[in-house]
Every structure is written in structure tokens, then in C-alpha cells.
Amino acid sequence: MNDVASSARSLMVESRLESWLTGLPVDSRRPAPPVRTELDATPLRAWIGPLALMVSTPFLSILFWMACAFHEGSVLRMLQAGPADWVARLPAPSLTAVGIVAGWTAFQLVLLELLPGADFEGPVTPAGVQPHYRLNGIAAWVISHGVVVGGWWFGLLDVAALYRHYGEVLVTLTIAAFAFCGFLYWKGRSYPTSPDAVYTGNFIFDFFQGIELHPRLFGVNLKQLINCRVSMMGWSVTFVAFAIAQYELSGFASISMLAANAVLVTYLLKFFWWESGYFQSMDIMHDRFGYYICWGVLVWVPAVYCLVALWLVEHPIQWHSATALTMVLFGVASIWINYQADAQRQRVRATNGRTTVWGKPPTLIRARYKPADGVERESLLLVSGWWGVARHFHYVPELMLAAAWTVPAGFTHFLPWFYWMFLFVLLMDRARRDEQRCAAKYGAYWDQYVAKVPWRVIPLVY
């Protein structure tokens, strides 16, 4: 009897562990192990590129910070200082940095799980799974920014500590995110959340690309928690924290810093107001959760996306108020165009085409396709509105927007503009990858769309 009871307890413990790791109820049916697929890619895509990125990006993340912290934001001066100087100035993880990272992550987890919000069902995956999300981003945005600004205003939070310890935070994030990606690889191979998990057997590619499409842990959707709340919310709060740091160091917040903050924070407020739209983006729908996405949002976002504000902290530029207002309005216009493009497509699909685009009935291609589950489905390809201008025109206002919050840093240094150049390359590559995916998914229907809308991103150019 004791052996039977012990065996039953062991099975219960194992079942609960499996439930925590998959994010599924204890009594639910477990997904099959990940499917091995053939890797149809050149060596550059299969392992050379991923390995080069995994080796270089952690060092670049720290070197960018070093250029701002010790070399007046000059990449040339940093390179002239040489590796010996880099090693001597390399920050180490600290308890303060661990506290900032862990505290922020826990705070966002609590807001995501406890704040009320509508349930949202994302697009069906190739394996026929429909992921679920909680839409409480606006409430989380208000509370997050309110706690940070209010805590600083009333002397309860040392918000500028983020700037003083930013190098330590980046090193801590680099190590922790790399370890977490290792955990995600193991989890995907051993305890996948859904039947969408696949691997190729090429460890470098699988670690970089990821195994799972929508992993859950303890019932928490990891893409929503890490991509949206820890990273995107952190991006907005970091800009605010750097403005506060500039105020404490200089006795004022410069007009250029305020302009950059106004555009960026407004953009991210719109992001959380339209969070459901992000769940229908390429990052969420098609990119697996490995180094490329997970490490990227946890480390590359604070290291690169925040470079403008990081540089401005100790380089205040006092713009004329009219110049600042013009740039803010340009940024807001870019946000509006970007939103309108996304809204047109989603409204058309939500109404099955029974709506208007620019005051007229939409021009559509009804594309039929079969995902891996064998069930034929239909997708509406919008050929009018912004989607009749270019097949990925929504990337144009994203580049305009990034320029709007980068121009406040001026044109004297390369470093603040690195994010814009990186974004340009990223979006052009993403457009190319999306074209390949759509051509394979829709076949002749996609050929019809390309014939009607010949420009990929930039009309008359590309």
C-alpha cells in the first residue's frame, strides 16, 4: 500500500510539474513532443548568421553603453580606447541591478495577472491552436508610469538609479536572458505548451529561432509578459527615467529630451491601447520564442532602443519650442498613419469585408489556404487603402516615427541614430521574410496581390 501511495504521489508531483511547465491544466491532454522538420536554409541562415549575432550582440549591447558613459557618446573614441579599456570598464552584475530587473518583472507579472481585462483570442496557429491573451495594457501602462513618476515626485523611488546602474542592468539582463533562452530550449524540447513546437536538430538555429510559438509557464503567456509588459512597457518607463535623470543632473529637462519622450511615450501608449493588434503581428504569430525574440526584447531593446534618451541625459539640447512641437506633431502623424494601416486591415477581416476603406468598399482578394491541421481557411488580402500603396507600407510610418524621436539628439553623433538604421534593416528583412511566408501560404492568390500592388515597402523605390 505504501508503494502504491508513493507511486501515486510521484505521479501527482510529476503531473503538477508538467502542468507548471506547459501552462496547461493538470488534467488536460499533453501535446506531443516537438516535431522535427528539415531545415531548408543556406548556411548563412542556418548557423553562420545566428552564431554571429549571438556572439556579437551581447558585446555590442555593453559597448554602446560604454560609449555613452565614458566616451561622450563617440563610437570612434571608444574604438580608439581599445579592448583593454573595455575590459577595465566592463560593469559586473550587482544586487541593485538584480533588484531592478527582478522587481520590474514581478511588478509587470502582477499587473498582467491581477488587473481586470477582456479575454482576446489570437489568430489560429498552423497547428490549429488559438492562443489567449488578457487585454489590460492601458491600465497597466497608467499604473506603471504613475508609480514611477509619482514615486519619484514624492521621494519614494530613486528613479534616476536606473541611469546610474544602467551598465550593471545591461550585463545582468544579458546573462539572465541567455540563461532563460536555454531554459526555453529545454522546455520546448521536453514540455511544449502546444503542438506548434518544432525543431530542426541544428542546435544553433533552434536555440536562436526558438522551439515554441506560444510558450506558457505557470499558465502565463510568456510572449505577452516578456515582449509587451517587461520590454515594451520598460522601454517607455526607461525614457521617462532618463528624463528624470537629466533633470537631477542638470537641474532641468531639455526641450529635446521632452520632445523625444512625448513621441516615444505616446507611441507606446498607442501600442497598449492597440495591444490586440500586436498579437496579430509577425513577432507574435510567426516568430518562435528563442534568442532572436526573447533575448532581443530583454536586452537589445534597453541597450539599443533607448540609446537616444541615454545619450541625451548628459547632452541636453535646448530646442526652440516651435521646433519641438513640429517634431512631436510629425511623430503623432506617423503614429496615426501606422494605426490607420493596421486598423484598415483588421477592420476588413473582422467584418468579412463589409466596411469601407477611405470611404469606399474595400478591394479584396479572398485567399484560400490549408494550415497543418488540414482544415481549409480563408484570409482576406486587402488591396486598397494603405495596403494598396505598398504591400508592407505600415513599415514606412514606423521609420518616420523612429526618426521623430531620434532627431532631438541632433546629427553630431552616430550612436543615437544606430537604432533607426538597425530598424531599417530589420524591417526590410522582415518584409522579405513575410513575403516568402505569404507566397508559400497563399500561392496563386499572393501572385495576384503582387500584380495589383507591385511595391514591397516604399512606393516607387522598393
Contact 200, 47 (CB under 8 A): no
pTM equals 0.92
Q: How many CA atoms lie within 13 A of 134 on its CB side?
A: 19
Predicted pLDDT at 462: 81
Alpha-carbon span 398 to 403, nearest angstrom: 9
- Nearest residue to 214 (alpha-carbon basis) of 151, 159, 294, 139: 294
What are the phi and psi torsion angles at 382 (to 5°)?
-80, 125
Residue 16 amino acid letter: R
Predicted pLDDT at 277: 87
Predicted pLDDT at 20: 79
Task: Give the pairing of strands 35-36 and 198-199.
Answer: parallel
Geometric angle at alpha carbon 57, from 55 and 58, rounded to 5°: 80
- Secondary structure string (H, E, C) spanning the chain: CHHHHHHHHHHHHHHHHHHHHHCCCCCCCCCCCCEECCCCCCHHHHHHHHHHHHHHHHHHHHHHHHHHHHCCCCHHHHHHHHHHHHHHHCCCCCHHHHHHHHHHHHHHHHHHHHCCCEEEECCCCCCCCCCEEEECHHHHHHHHHHHHHHHHHCCCCCCCHHHHCHHHHHHHHHHHHHHHHHHHHHHHHHCCCCCCCEECCCHHHHHHHCCCCCCEECCEEHHHHHHHHHHHHHHHHHHHHHHHHHHHHHCCCCHHHHHHHHHHHHHHHHHHHCHHHHCCCHHHHCCCCCHHHHHHHHHHHHHHHCHHHHHHHCCCCCCCHHHHHHHHHHHHHHHHHHHHHHHHHHHHHHCCCCCCECCECCCEEEEEECCCCCCCEEEEEECCHHHHCCCCCCHHHHHHHHHHHHHHHCCCCCHHHHHHHHHHHHHHHHHHHHHHHHHHHHCHHHHHHHHHCCCCCCCCCC
Predicted pLDDT at 135: 96
Question: What does each of the 462 residues of the chain score in pLDDT, given as a tens digit?
Answer: 555 555 555 555 666 777 778 877 766 667 778 888 888 888 998 999 999 999 999 999 999 999 999 999 898 999 999 999 999 999 999 999 999 999 999 999 999 999 999 999 998 888 888 999 999 999 999 999 999 999 999 999 999 999 999 999 999 999 999 999 999 999 999 999 989 999 999 999 999 999 999 999 999 999 999 999 999 999 999 999 999 999 999 999 999 999 999 999 999 999 999 999 899 888 898 899 999 999 999 999 999 999 999 999 999 999 999 999 999 999 999 999 999 998 999 899 889 999 999 999 999 999 998 876 677 888 999 999 999 999 999 999 999 999 999 999 999 999 999 999 999 999 999 999 899 989 999 999 999 999 999 999 998 888
Residue 313 amino acid letter: V
Predicted pLDDT at 115: 97
Residues forming a β-bridge with 31: none
Alpha-carbon span 166 to 148, nearest angstrom: 16
- Nearest residue to 440 (alpha-carbon basis) of 346, 384, 372: 372
Predicted pLDDT at 40: 80
Alpha-carbon span 367 to 27, nearest angstrom: 38
